[in-house]
């Protein structure tokens, strides 16, 4: 897809009807728009988003104020944006009209195919636009660079993970999983609603109650996890700063070492405590049952000595004599004779092979217990000594860490002391959050178990009911399909992560001045490292570069997925223009130039919105050979200049005033630079 023209009508700062044609030239693919802050760069970016989807970027101020103020004062109640674009060889017009009423704002989208200058109306306009550039992917093509920290800042890994999932086109699979969960729930309800199944109905009601409570707990737990992660990220950020801060470096290094030792000791302590629990399970009863084992063993031994255990007669031997009706001595054993009765009497005390085996096993087991009893006290003593020693070691380490923390808190440099105080405060909050998380997780697990138990109970009862079985099969089909879909998504995400990592590192090799390595943290956070493995501080321009590289990689990743198979669980990627507002943000001059060098290659059409401080001569000169169309947004003001500066910018050898005064009305005007 390529944008051909944006036509604004009383939209935000843009009074009246104004047009912005965009370059569709494959070689000179850049449209460059200069504007100072507050004049309308972000509005241009958002005009396309608003036209296509009726939404704007997150940080777009007053998103409901659509109609230009000056036009509204003159009685206008409507505004519109028309975007003319090419897609797969055809030209289309998308137009969103906004009507401002006293009570509510309304907007509607119409889409036309333009054929030989004739507009042909298309139905299902939203679906069509979404098939050209899915809404979930659009925000990465229409990107506000001023807020690039959305990706690189601490704790914003969720945005990163979401961006990857969106560009991967996961959302239909995700709704599939949600629908299957809903279907499983529906079939469970059907089981519970079967007429005449009172017990099943009661269990189903209970299941619903547990599910409701469990969902509430899960939300609380997820909030707690977010809170914990945010606190950890803040703590991590402070520690990173202390590790490099003059006056704190050495103390922090020692604290890091002691903290590592403390973590090791904590792990050893856990093992030692577990060994005591194991001792209780395997050895403690040998001591408790001392009297019982001694007496039992004595009894078996004595009975064995007296020939009572095992019994001197074997059951099979006695039965054999009765069967052949002949005694072992050769005398006949006719049934019901005195001899026969004597032999039959022997069966009462005759032993079987099983009884003999049991006696042997019981003896062996009791003998083992006797052995266990011998070393049980020593083992417990060793474990207790180990625990005591580890507890003492932990205490000493905690004291030492406390001393080091005090040193940092009392550091002569105010900045270090403040950071340390913040660290302490955050650590306290983290401890409390962890405790809360433990309770919530325990509660969720308990409800999971309760749910499973009741589900099993329902299964059990349903199994007896022919009517219920059909619903169980349906529910299981839905559940197992959801599990499979989840596993497939997970697999795709891992592959996407690896692919995007490679793309980002390729971009960094081309643009960064030093050797950096990019990697995703396990939780999707973006991480940039120096060649020696140290983390690059997040406030740096390098991280702005990393965010841009991430966006660039997402765009490339999306275009590599346009041929995604029709059978896939993913929506195919798309090729769309890259519209970047203030992409050079915090970059220093050299990085701005380096970035300007690679930006035109990121997409087949690039629209750059830059202020004079970002789009300086060097940047523009670097971009020049790729720029086809160039514009300036001029702020026209009703008021007089007064003390305000003239805001001149130099473009193509001309000086242009970006603010002019004593105008008929306040508005922004789009002026093309020839």
Question: Rounded to the nearest 5°, which phi and psi values hold at 51?
Answer: -60, -50
Residue ranges of the alpha helices (H) in 280-330?
285-288, 290-305, 315-324
Q: Which helix (H) or strand (E) holds 9?
A: strand 2-11
- Distance CA(537)–CA(246), nearest Å, equals 15
Nearest distance from C-beta of residue 162 to other proteins, angstroms: 17
Question: Exposed, middle or buried: residue 111 (CB in 10 Å: 0-12, 13-18, 19+)?
Answer: buried
Residue number with CB closer to other proteins (314 or 465): 465
Residue 202 or 263: the one with the smaller Cβ distance to other proteins is: 202
- Compute the distance between CA of residue 213 and CA of residue 455 in angstroms, rounded to an integer: 16
Nearer to other proteins, 173 or 318 (CB): 173
Please state the closest distance from residue 535 (CB atom) to other proteins, in A: 39
Question: Which residues lie across from 21 on neighbouring strands?
Answer: 5
CB of residue 476 vs other proteins: minimum separation in angstroms? 4
**Given the complex with other proteins, which of 133 and 596 has the nearer CB atom?**
133
Q: With contact defined as beta carbons under 8 Å apart, do 379 and 283 qualify?
A: yes
Q: How far is the CB of 427 from other proteins (least distance, A)?
A: 43
8 A C-beta contact, residue 574 and residue 132: yes
Q: What are phi and psi of 374, to 5 degrees?
A: -65, -50
Q: Residue 303 or residue 481: which is nearer to other proteins going by CB?
A: 481
What sign for the dihedral angle of Cα 38, 39, 42, 46?
positive
For residues 175 and 271, which CB has a smaller minimum distance to other proteins in the complex?
175
Q: Greatest CA span in the chain, whole angstroms?
A: 141
Smallest distance, other proteins to C-beta of residue 17, A? 27
3-state SS track over 318-351:
HHHHHHHCECCCCCECCCCCHHHHHHHHHHHHCE
**Which lies closer to other proteins via its Cβ, residue 127 or residue 590?**
127
Pairing of strands 659-660, 627-636: parallel
CB of 558 to other proteins, least distance (A): 16
Residue 132 or 496: the one with the smaller Cβ distance to other proteins is 132
Q: Which residues bind other proteins (CB under 8 A)?
A: 53, 126-131, 134, 171-173, 175-176, 179-180, 182-183, 186-187, 453, 456-460, 462-464, 468-470, 472-474, 476-478, 480-481, 484-485, 567-569, 571
Nearer to other proteins, 171 or 393 (CB): 171
In the complex, least distance from residue 568 CB atom to other proteins, rounded to whole angstroms: 8
Distance (Å, rounded) from C-alpha 341 to C-alpha 335? 8
**CA–CA dist 610, 584 (Å, integer):** 8
Token duo for residue 255 = 């604290």
**Is the Cβ of residue 54 or residue 247 nearer to other proteins in the bound state?**
54
| In the complex, minimum distance from the CB of residue 210 to other proteins, in angstroms, rounded to a whole number | 13
Q: Which is nearer to other proteins, 107 or 493 (CB)?
A: 107
- Closest CA relative to residue 97, chosen from 87, 89, 88, 106: 106
The SS3 call for residue 571 is: coil
- Of the two residues 224 and 472, which places its CB atom closer to other proteins in the complex? 472
Q: What are phi and psi of 523, to 5 degrees?
A: -90, 15
* Residue 570: half-sphere exposure toward Cβ, Cα within 13 Å: 24
| Distances from the Cα of 157 to the Cα of 81, 162, 496, 502, 508, angstroms | 34, 8, 15, 18, 20
Token pair for 241: 């700063």
From CA 503, how far away is CA 496, in angstroms rounded?
A: 10
Nearer to other proteins, 379 or 461 (CB): 461
Peptide bond into 108 cis (omega under 30): no
* Cα-Cα-Cα-Cα dihedral sign, residues 210, 211, 216, 220: positive
């Amino acid at each position: 897809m390529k944008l051909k023209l944006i036509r604004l009508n009383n939209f935000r700062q843009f009074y009246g009807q104004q047009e912005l044609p965009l370059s569709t030239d494959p070689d000179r693919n850049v449209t460059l728009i200069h504007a100072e802050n507050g004049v309308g760069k972000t509005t241009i970016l958002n005009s396309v988003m608003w036209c296509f989807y009726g939404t704007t970027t997150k940080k777009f101020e007053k998103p409901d104020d659509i109609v230009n103020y000056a036009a509204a004062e003159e009685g206008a109640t409507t505004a519109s944006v028309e975007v003319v674009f090419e897609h797969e060889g055809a030209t289309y017009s998308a137009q969103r009209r906004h009507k401002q009423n006293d009570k509510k704002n309304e907007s509607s989208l119409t889409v036309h195919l333009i054929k030989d200058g004739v507009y042909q109306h298309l139905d299902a306009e939203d679906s069509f636009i979404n098939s050209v550039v899915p809404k979930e992917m659009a925000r990465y093509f229409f990107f506000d660079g001023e807020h690039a920290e959305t990706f690189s800042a601490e704790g914003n890994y969720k945005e990163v993970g979401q961006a990857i999932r969106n560009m991967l086109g996961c959302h239909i699979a995700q709704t599939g999983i949600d629908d299957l969960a809903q279907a499983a729930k529906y079939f469970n309800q059907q089981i519970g609603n079967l007429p005449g199944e009172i017990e099943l109905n009661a269990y189903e009601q209970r299941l619903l109650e547990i599910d409701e409570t469990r969902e509430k707990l899960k939300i609380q737990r997820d909030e707690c996890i977010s809170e914990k992660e945010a606190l950890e990220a803040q703590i991590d950020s402070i520690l990173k700063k202390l590790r490099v801060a003059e006056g704190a470096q050495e103390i922090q290094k020692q604290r890091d070492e002691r903290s590592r030792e403390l973590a090791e000791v904590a792990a050893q302590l856990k093992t030692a405590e577990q060994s005591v629990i194991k001792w209780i399970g395997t050895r403690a009863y040998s001591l408790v049952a001392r009297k019982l084992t001694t007496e039992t063993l004595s009894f078996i031994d004595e009975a064995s000595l007296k020939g009572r255990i095992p019994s001197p007669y074997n059951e099979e031997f006695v039965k054999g004599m009765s069967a052949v009706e002949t005694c072992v001595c050769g005398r006949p054993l006719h049934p019901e004779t005195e001899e026969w009765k004597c032999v039959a009497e022997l069966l009462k005390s005759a032993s079987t092979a099983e009884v003999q085996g049991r006696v042997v096993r019981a003896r062996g087991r009791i003998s083992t217990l006797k052995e266990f009893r011998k070393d049980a006290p020593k083992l417990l003593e060793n474990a207790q000594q180990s625990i005591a020693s580890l507890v003492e070691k932990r205490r000493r380490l905690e004291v030492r860490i406390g001393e080091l923390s005090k040193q940092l808190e009392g550091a002569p440099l105010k900045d270090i002391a403040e950071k340390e105080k913040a660290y302490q405060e955050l650590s306290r909050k983290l401890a409390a959050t962890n405790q809360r998380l433990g309770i919530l997780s325990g509660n969720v697990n308990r409800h999971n178990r309760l749910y499973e138990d009741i589900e099993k109970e329902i299964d059990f009862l349903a199994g007896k009911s022919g009517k219920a079985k059909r619903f169980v099969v349906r529910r299981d089909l839905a559940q197992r399909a959801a599990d499979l879909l989840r596993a497939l998504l997970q697999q795709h995400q891992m592959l996407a992560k690896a692919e995007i990592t490679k793309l980002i590192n390729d971009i960094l090799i081309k643009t960064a001045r030093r050797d950096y390595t990019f990697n995703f943290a396990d939780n999707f956070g973006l991480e940039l490292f120096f060649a020696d493995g140290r983390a690059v501080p997040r406030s740096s321009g390098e991280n702005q570069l990393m965010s841009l590289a991430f966006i660039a990689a997402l765009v490339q990743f999306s275009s590599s997925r346009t041929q995604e198979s029709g059978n896939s669980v993913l929506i195919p990627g798309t090729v769309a223009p890259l519209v970047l507002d203030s992409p050079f943000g915090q970059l220093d001059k050299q990085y701005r130039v380096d970035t300007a060098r690679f930006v035109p290659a990121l997409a087949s059409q690039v629209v750059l919105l830059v202020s004079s401080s970002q789009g300086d001569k060097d940047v523009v000169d670097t971009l020049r050979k790729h720029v086809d169309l160039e514009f300036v947004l001029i702020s026209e003001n009703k008021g007089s200049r007064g003390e305000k500066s003239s805001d001149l910018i130099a473009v193509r050898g001309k000086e242009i005033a970006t603010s002019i005064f004593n105008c008929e009305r306040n508005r922004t005007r789009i002026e093309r630079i020839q």
